Amino acid sequence: MAILKGACIIGQSGGPTAVINASAYGAIRAALDSDVITKVYGAAHGIKGVLDDVLYIMDEEDADELALLRNTPSSELGSCRYKMKDPDVDDTDYKRILEIFKKYDVRYFFYNGGNDSMDTCNKISKYMQKVGYECRVMGIPKTIDNDLFGTDHCPGFASAAKYIATSCMEVSKDATVYDNAQITVVEIMGRHAGWLAASAALASHFGAGPDLIYLPEVDFSMEQFIADVEKIYATKNKVLIAVSEGIHYADGRFVSEAEVSATDGFGHAQLGGLAVKLADVLKKQTGAKVRGIELSLLQRCGSHLASKTDVDEAEMAGRVAVEAATAGETDKMVAFERVMENGQYTCKPVLLPLSSVANYEKKVPLEWINEEHNNVLEAFIDYALPLIQGEPERATEFSLPRYARLKKVVAK
């Protein structure tokens, strides 16, 4: 493959994670170190930064500050949720991107995100091929939801899983401290895939976690839910329940959005999330003290509890994307293959065609969910436990996190 000299753009997209900046660091560092990449730009707010011509010059950043990206949560370059149109219908954005690529002599484009971002990445790659502009395009995976197709797991998932498991252990300790009856419902992210809610089972595995876990992979029944809770409530007067925000009835309605008029007695629109709603239903059913806890944004940006395995793999994904592209690859996403040898986990990066991953969703296998549909089986623990291992070094300042402080010099 011919050597391709030129600038690169790195963009972050979709919901932030605890380690997406580690991927950015892996890519930026490798690009800065590359002989063929002439300039390294970070796009402000993903593809919107390209469209708006707001590119940060990464070559201007201090190396030590860049390294702090490894433990800075959220997307330091800014993110977006921008859905690209089909270029055959409207190619305005694509023409603009091409214009910017030409303006800065961009020959490498690295995009870090989830399903929608891989779709963006794929469309840009195909468009550049169609118009004959030589540019190598690589996707870097990211999503706490862990629902990207073709990869064993996604950077960001494990750190969120570790946050969720640790928090569930702590809540489990707290919620059982009095001798009176108490029911606690913990709401966990995951609209369509239950990987994160399932991670609460890691807490139970170590003796302090939820009694029941409900995932969106199977239909939810309020009657069965109440029966499940009452069964446990009858034997011990404490019940801890983890629910995925995406649980839905058999007819497809999200429980979080459906009115629960039969049980709540009034049936008007309610503020507050699913946890509060379910806690309220259980309070009326049992009379117990109930509490709904929503892990909210905390679960996806909890970099203080990041998995070292996750941070290292995220960084590797960024680095591999750059190294593969400069070696001639294009139109691919970096994916992870799990290698188990003598019980030891290692993660091998592989490259998948972008078109094979965009727009597919990977869910928790049904055979990992128990027969009663209210917990996950050992297979899930075997899958998730290796991913959450290790504590990364964290920079602190007066015992609080010290995040990267970038200059963000905008290219003219």
Active site residues: 145
Comparison of 204 and 330: residue with beta carbon closer to a copy of itself: 204
CA atoms within 13 A on the CB side of 316: 17
In angstroms, what is the minimal distance from the CB of 33 to a copy of itself?
27
Report if residue 388 touches a copy of itself, rule: CB under 8 A. yes
Report if residue 167 touches a copy of itself, rule: CB under 8 A. yes
- Dihedral sign (CA 412, 28, 15, 397): negative
Neighbours of 190 (CB within 10 A): 28
For 228-267, b/e burial (b = at least 16 CB within 10 A) is bbeebbeeebbbbbbbbbbbbeeeeeebbeeebeebeeee
Tokens of residue 131, six digits: 């118009």
In angstroms, what is the minimal distance from the CB of 184 to a copy of itself?
8
Draw the binding track, 38-67, toward a copy of itself (x: CB under 8 A; -: no contact). ------xx--x-------------------
Question: 73 to 92, contacts with a copy of itself by CB under 8 A?
Answer: 73-75, 78-81
Which listed residue (8, 9, 10, 16) binds a copy of itself by CB under 8 A?
Answer: 16
Report if residue 339 touches a copy of itself, rule: CB under 8 A. no
Comparison of 171 and 324: residue with beta carbon closer to a copy of itself: 171
Q: Please, are residues 57 and 49 in contact by the beta-carbon 8 Å criterion?
A: no
Comparison of 108 and 302: residue with beta carbon closer to a copy of itself: 302
C-alpha closest to that of 180 among 297, 290, 312: 290
| Beta pairing partners, 56 | 42, 410
Report if residue 377 touches a copy of itself, rule: CB under 8 A. no
Query: Which residues are CB-neighbours of 174 under 8 A, at least 6 positions away?
Result: none
Comparison of 221 and 270: residue with beta carbon closer to a copy of itself: 270
Span from 70-78, 111-119, 129-137, 250-258 in contact with a copy of itself (CB under 8 A): 70-78
| Beta pairing partners, 184 | 240, 291
Which listed residue (64, 287, 399, 412) binds a copy of itself by CB under 8 A?
Answer: 399
In angstroms, what is the minimal distance from the CB of 269 to a copy of itself?
9
Which listed residue (2, 3, 250, 271) binds a copy of itself by CB under 8 A?
Answer: 271
Which listed residue (93, 294, 323, 331) binds a copy of itself by CB under 8 A?
Answer: 294
In angstroms, what is the minimal distance from the CB of 152 to a copy of itself?
18
Span from 108-116, 149-157, 162-170, 324-332 in contact with a copy of itself (CB under 8 A): 162-170
Collapsing DSSP states into helix, strand and coil, what is residue 52?
Answer: coil
Q: Please, are residues 17 and 143 in contact by the beta-carbon 8 Å criterion?
A: yes
Q: What is the DSSP string of 378-408?
A: HHHHHHHGGGG-------EETTEE-------
Report if residue 187 touches a copy of itself, rule: CB under 8 A. no
Query: What are the angstrom distances between the C-alpha of 40 and each of 106, 198, 211?
Result: 9, 39, 49
DSSP state of 152: S
- Residues of the shown chain interacting with a copy of itself in the complex, contacts defined by CB under 8 A: 16, 44-45, 48, 72-75, 78-81, 162, 165-167, 169-171, 173-179, 184, 202-203, 206-208, 266, 268, 270-273, 276-277, 280, 291, 293-298, 300-305, 307, 385, 388-391, 396-403, 405
